[in-house]
Amino acid sequence: MTRKILVFDTTLRDGEQVPGAKLNLYEKVEIAQQLKKLGVDIIEAGFPASSQGDFDAVRAVAERVGNTSDIMITALARAVQYDIDRVYEAVKYAQNPMIHMVLGTSDIHVEKKFSKSKDQILQIGVDAVKYARTLCPQVQYSTEDASRSDFDYLWTTIEAVMKAGATMINVPDTVGYAEPEEWGHLIYRLNDRMKNVNPDVILSVHCHNDLGMATANTLAAVKNGADKVEVTINGIGERAGNAALEEVVMALKTRNQIYEATTGINTREIINTSRLVSSFMGLDVQVNKAITGDNAFAHSSGIHQDGLLKSRDAYEIVHPEDVGLEDMELVLTARSGRHAVKNALEKLGIAPQSTDDFEAIFEKFLQLADAKKEVYNHDLYVIVESYYEATDSATNESTTAFSDAFYDLQDLQVISNSTFPSASIRLTRGADVIPASAVGTGPVDALYSAIASVTKIDAKLVEYNISSVSRGKEALGKVKITLEYNGETYMSKAADTDILRASALAYINAINSIIVETLQPTIHV
Ligand code: KIV
Ligand code: ZN
């Protein structure tokens, strides 16, 4: 029988503990709205005792996102009255509030951190739960550092706080020390005992990723009876982070026969949520990160592209559209095989008539891919057209001068200062050389304004990112633009040793992608 696993998202609390990832109130509310759309069951919105700003943000999330009964809003407290009061005062505006408190159970925490006896700590926990229950019907108790705790003391604590009124018991692997088999066994034993004491109390796990096992440990816990998982978007969190929501959810979905468990997550919102969190917190997602990394669905090896085109399940266990990506992205590179190039040409409506024609085009593609690394649709047009011109075998009037439709960057000059950032560019389009200048709020803004004044495509820049790709040698510019008139989004990249050139080329590539779509695909060679 398939069990429903509750998803407790702590991106706004454990995730926000990442240095530099602090959010303001509006950003927190925006992310919380998106988490609600994603379908999480519980949002942990912060640690209200830490600052007035965090208190206000948790309260705003409770009021504006917790205004329905299908989502629970909580926040973290230490097991002391001041913290518990702050949490309650902030979350009480939600229809379904919960107080979450944490207190250590390992010898290291009890003896070294608190310098108290185990009995004293146990009593503090019990009293804190009893107090919290006078305020709120839902109280979660976290046994911090559970994976390094003595089992008997851990169980004694859990039993005592359950009897004191805790409605959820969260068992954390605080330092990412657990190993899946051992962790699964621990959860199995706790679940067995808990169900005998009170089957209504929820058993939860919270796993950190210090040894790269957070997702595996979380899944082992689900297999062994955990009813709830604590996770973050993109796996962000203290040190190496927490179990990633997207990994746990997609593993449960993809390997359902093994776990026999499901969640209420709308998986099609995963990518949107990941990008929102990444951009608001300024934390890039590792490119090869499972599910949400840029390359998670990009197949660049020729053998893989060929296999995929024959049958998607050859190399695809999760469909990109299931997590909110439109279609699988076949990045054409020098390693792409003939099948992938043929497929890309067909999608553009370009059908070489003979094998010799195709081979000649493929040869040109390889030369360009060597030079440019990534080949875009507009590059394919140019390749085909230049082949067509060279062989002088025109059969269709409308094929003339496709390359004249696309922009390229001939030169740029950017002046960066605090009063008057400005940019001058020279773009080419076919034989035309078009100069333009603009000022902006900064050098990139000036550059993009100059390009936009030439292309006259009414598009809004919604994302811009520049990063180094090869230990400082090349910069990778990435942009996402949205067409004002229909809201369609286009993403593009470009690499160059000059960061401003990389930025300009990424933008021009995105513009060229828009132009490709407006062209009538009627080339037949
Ligand atoms: O890692 C941890 O132990 C925590 C608790 C507050 C659940 O974040
Ligand atoms: Zn944690």
Q: Specify the residue with its C-alpha closest to ligand 1, atom 4.
A: 174
Q: With helix as H, strand as E and coil as C, how does 484-523 read?
A: CCCCCEEEEEEEECCHHHHHHHHHHHHHHHHHHHHCCCCC
121 and 183 in a common domain:
yes
243 and 187 in a common domain:
yes
DSSP secondary structure string, 3-66?
EEPEEEE-TTTTGGGSTT----HHHHHHHHHHHHHHT-SEEE---GGG-HHHHHHHHHHHHHTS
Spatial CB neighbours of 486, under 8 Å, sequence gap ≥ 6: none
Q: Specify the residue with its C-alpha closest to ligand 1, atom 6.
A: 102
Provide the pLDDT for residue 510. 87
246 and 123 in a common domain:
yes
CATH of the domain at 489: 3.30.160.270
What is the end-to-end Cα distance of the chain in Å, rounded? 58
Provide the pLDDT for residue 376. 79
317 and 266 in a common domain:
no
264 and 153 in a common domain:
yes
211 and 84 in a common domain:
yes
- Residue of 142, 238, 239 to test ligand 1 pocket, by largest number of atoms within 8 Å of CB: 142
Ligand-binding annotation for 206, yes or no, is yes
Q: Is residue 34 part of a domain?
A: yes
Ligand-binding annotation for 14, yes or no, is yes
Distance of CA 84 from the midpoint of ligand 2 (Å): 18
Q: Which ligand is nearest to the CA of 236?
A: 2
158 and 304 in a common domain:
no
Last residue of a domain, one of 343, 369, 400: 400
Provide the pLDDT for residue 473. 65
Q: Is residue 293 part of a domain?
A: no
Provide the pLDDT for residue 263. 98
Provide the pLDDT for residue 207. 98
131 and 99 in a common domain:
yes
Provide the pLDDT for residue 522. 46
Domain count for the chain: 3
Q: Which ligand is nearest to the CA of 237?
A: 2
Q: Is residue 288 part of a domain?
A: no
Provide the pLDDT for residue 330. 63
Provide the pLDDT for residue 311. 76
420 and 383 in a common domain:
no
Q: How far apart (Å, rounded) are the C-alpha atoms in residues 71 and 97?
A: 9
Whether 207 is in the pocket of ligand 1, judged by its Cβ within 6 Å, is no
- Residue of 141, 183, 208 to test ligand 1 pocket, by largest number of atoms within 8 Å of CB: 208
Residue whose structure tokens are 């990778």: 476
Whether 147 is in the pocket of ligand 1, judged by its Cβ within 6 Å, is no
Provide the pLDDT for residue 345. 84
Whether 76 is in the pocket of ligand 1, judged by its Cβ within 6 Å, is yes
pTM for the full predicted model: 0.75
Provide the pLDDT for residue 524. 45
Q: Are 91 and 99 in contact (CB under 8 A)?
A: yes
Find the domain containing 474 and state its range.
406-519
Residue 170: which region, alpha, beta or left (left: phi > 0; alpha: psi -120 to 50)?
A: beta
Spatial CB neighbours of 57, under 8 Å, sequence gap ≥ 6: 23, 24, 25, 28, 29, 45, 46
Ranges of the chain whose pLDDT falls below 70: 300, 326-330, 349, 371-372, 388-403, 469-473, 519-525
Ligand-binding annotation for 242, yes or no, is yes
Whether 271 is in the pocket of ligand 1, judged by its Cβ within 6 Å, is no
244 and 141 in a common domain:
yes
Last residue of a domain, one of 400, 423, 457: 400
Last residue of a domain, one of 400, 428, 446: 400
